A = this chain, B = another copy of it.
């Protein structure tokens, strides 16, 4: 490398600090400018030179000296405008901004294409786990049609703790908040928004089709009970918040985030606490699973720095364009609605009157073309009520929702309806 590659960092929070500390070790890389919100904040980072700090991020994106801008602030604005400006000024982009990629990815990728620049974003999906680069390079010979992943550490931590401690969602959430694993307002994590952003972007690059984030089905973990965990365990499953994506031969995409009963025999069932994992299925590779830390200062820095080094290795070539690293998903996928899908289900029912209830539920299911894999009646109480756990075979979502309405109309309470891994 003849010339040093010049980097501008936007953001010096958890991820930015990790990137700064890691890049220090690379002699061919120079961080020439760092933008922060509060320039007067005391920061305990060794080797940080206050003279390169600014509170005006436009001093980075408009700086002609800078080759690569690393955007590490998150959110839509000002990130979108900063990235757009940087691209127009001829800079390559490295970002960890999953929300921006999911909501405005189309715009920034198009802009990058027009200006012959690349946007890399390994850190935005599954933190330190190498997934975007492998999909774009070494797996490029594959047609990948199925993704099943644990992409949110907070919810996986909560579900693992609920399982291990047989504790309620509310208790574990509180504990997670105290430990800093969950935010004061946990909505983004526990309602599945974060995982939805990530699976939308991952599916786009993997299927080579744009995924409309508005049409990604999303269901969080707030309704999962310790009782569901226990029932799942008895049946050979763990409950995980799974982000999945499927595409069929006609380009119809089924992309979603919801809790799922996963078989204890599957790798995902053993991905615990804040660990993330991505399982891909395709041809010719078959099925592969990549797991590791989904967040955190250093794991995320690993991915940001990997992207920076990949761009740096190409800069200075006569006609560098990083051919395999571009985003090729110019056409939109036809997004299937959840009501059009077919799933297996776990149903937990509290029957008001246990007399004949199994028969009635069986009849409702049969009337709706629902075959049952198992049905367990448990804990008949003195008051003549009963807890019933049903696992179905593959069933149309529409039919299932109809059956649920009828079961409830019959005076029973459906505690939970959770999809089961196929």
Contacts and interface: CB of A to CB of B under 8 A. Distances in A.
Interface stretch (A202-210, A243-251, A252-260, A295-303): A295-303
Contacts of A284: 18, 21-22, 128, 297-299, 301-302, 305
Contacts of A299: 284-286
- How many copies of this kind of chain does the complex include? 2
A288 interface: yes
Contacts of A235: none
Interface residues of A, number: 52
Contact of A306 (B21, B141, B313, B318): B141
A283 interface: yes
B285 A293 contact: yes
Contacts of A290: 130, 288-291
Interface in A1-38: 18, 21-23, 26
A140 interface: yes
A314 B286 CA distance: 27
Interface stretch (A49-57, A131-139, A385-393): A131-139
Interface string A313-328: 1100111100110000
Contacts of A291: 267, 288-291
A208 to B, nearest CB: 13
Given A283-B298, A292-B289, A298-B283, A306 B267 contact: no
A400 interface: no
Nearest to A313: B323
Contacts of A298: 283-286
Contacts of A332: none
Give the 8 A-B residue pairs with the shortest CB-CB distance, closest first: A288-B292, A141-B305, A284-B298, A138-B306, A285-B302, A133-B138, A318-B318, A130-B134
6 contacts: A18-B284, A137-B309, A140-B310, A285-B299, A288-B290, A289-B292
